[in-house]
Amino acid sequence: MTKTMQKKYARLIARVGANIKKGQPVRIYAEADQHEFVTILVGECYKAGASRVEVDFAFQEITKLNYRYRTLKSLSHVPAWQEERLKLMVEEVPCRIYIESEDPDGLAGINREKMQKSQMARYKVTKKYSDALENKDQWCIAAVPSYAWAKKVFPGETKNKAYNMLWYAILKTVYVTKDNDPEEAWKQHNADLKSRTAYLTEKKFDYLEYKSSNGTDFKASLIPESHWCGGGENTLSGNFFNPNLPTEEVFISPKKGFAEGKVVSTKPLSYQGQIIDKFYITFKDGMAVEWDAEVGKDLLDKMLSMDDGAKYLGELALIPHDSPIANTGILFYNTLFDENASCHVALGRGFCDTIDGFETKSLEECHQLGVNDSMIHVDFMIGAPDLQITGYKDGKAYKIFENGNWAF
């Protein structure tokens, strides 16, 4: 991929994704083998007005070694310097940019119980800082290819060809081409998504019903004081940003405790460097009460037991089967992309910014209204060619999806 195209993409991340404002600090999280693209991105962040750009590099192979050799006590400990850094982040409210490129199978074989317990222990310390940043900072998740990820997506190709093919596929999904203006393309894209959210919000549905021949038969109630979101969003201070590049979804947080029935996955889920596939989850009184998976059942068990909120839903997202990412015909083995090719639901933490007047409400008030709280937020895909979604208001039915696509 040419440096010109990479620079165009990096500019999009800095100016449309994070939408960095003059004088804002920026923190970038990426894998160490992406240093060349990150260098380009750092330059674009400064050109967008960043006062300071810090980069936190990780490396998946080292992460795997840490889980293999470090004790549970060591992995669970949050050093004082790390906590001080979190405090500084709450004070400064930097833009945060996450560059994904990990191998979907890169953490296969690790001790999952050790990972789960250490993450739960660390979360008890770090939660108050993440809560303090809720809806205050701009953040953006984007992706660049790695050779391992590319070979997973295109196993029949050579390493270099697969890498280039994944680059072109990623750029296509985020509307970056050789001759276009990506910023203008995203302006139009956001407008299209907002028109969908406006219609759905106006209807004020009591609940949604999902049905598909694959076994999905499911209902989820909505919070009366909520609205649909999609595309870009605003911080509490009014800074507009696009948290996901790409995005094709409109979404809402359902009411905790009010979901019934069975949802069946339609795409593999890459979770913590491992794959969960061909699974279903059954809900009763809003909580997952039964589940199974042909691949990764033990990992699904661990995920659903992360904390009290992990068995409840935090998001319902609508994406037509006939969408740009779905039409690539590519299974990315990465939730950022695969969730935008299919309707999905998310286990765990909900979004307070789907609550009307969230700007003046505390997290506790949002949770009391029915937004779920959890240390996890994991999307999994349930879209299908024959998926029917119906919204109900005061007993009246409105078609939302018919045969997997928008009905309005």
Distance CA 344, CA 317 (A): 5
- The two tokens of residue 199 are 């219609």
Q: What is the pLDDT of residue 11?
A: 98
Q: What is the pLDDT of residue 20?
A: 97
Distance CA 400, CA 408 (A): 7
Residues in CB range of 340: below 8 A, 6 or more apart: 173, 244, 246, 247, 248, 249, 319, 323, 325
Residue by residue, pLDDT tens for the chain (408 residues) are 899 999 999 999 999 999 999 999 999 999 999 999 999 999 999 999 999 999 999 999 999 999 999 999 999 999 999 999 999 999 999 999 999 999 999 998 999 899 989 999 999 999 999 989 988 999 999 999 999 999 999 999 999 999 999 999 999 999 999 999 999 999 999 999 999 999 999 999 999 999 999 999 999 999 999 999 999 999 989 999 999 999 999 999 999 999 999 999 999 998 988 899 999 999 999 999 999 999 999 999 999 999 999 999 999 999 999 888 998 999 999 989 998 999 999 999 999 999 999 888 999 999 999 999 999 999 999 999 999 999 999 999 999 999 999 999
Q: What is the pLDDT of residue 323?
A: 87
Residues in CB range of 317: below 8 A, 6 or more apart: 249, 250, 251, 339, 343, 344, 345, 346, 379
Q: What is the pLDDT of residue 272?
A: 86
Q: What is the pLDDT of residue 157?
A: 97
Residues in CB range of 237: below 8 A, 6 or more apart: 136
Q: What is the pLDDT of residue 359?
A: 86
Q: What is the pLDDT of residue 377?
A: 96
Q: What is the pLDDT of residue 225?
A: 97
Distance CA 20, CA 37 (A): 18
362: phi then psi, degrees, rounded to nearest 5: -80, 165
Strands 217-222, 207-211: pairing kind: antiparallel
Q: Set out the domains of the chain in order of their start, with CATH numbers.
A: 3-173 (3.40.1830.10), 182-406 (no CATH)
pLDDT in tens, 320-341: 998 889 989 999 999 899 989 9
Instruction: Identify which of 400, 247, 258 has the alpha carbon closest to the alpha carbon of residue 338.
Output: 247
Q: What is the pLDDT of residue 135?
A: 83
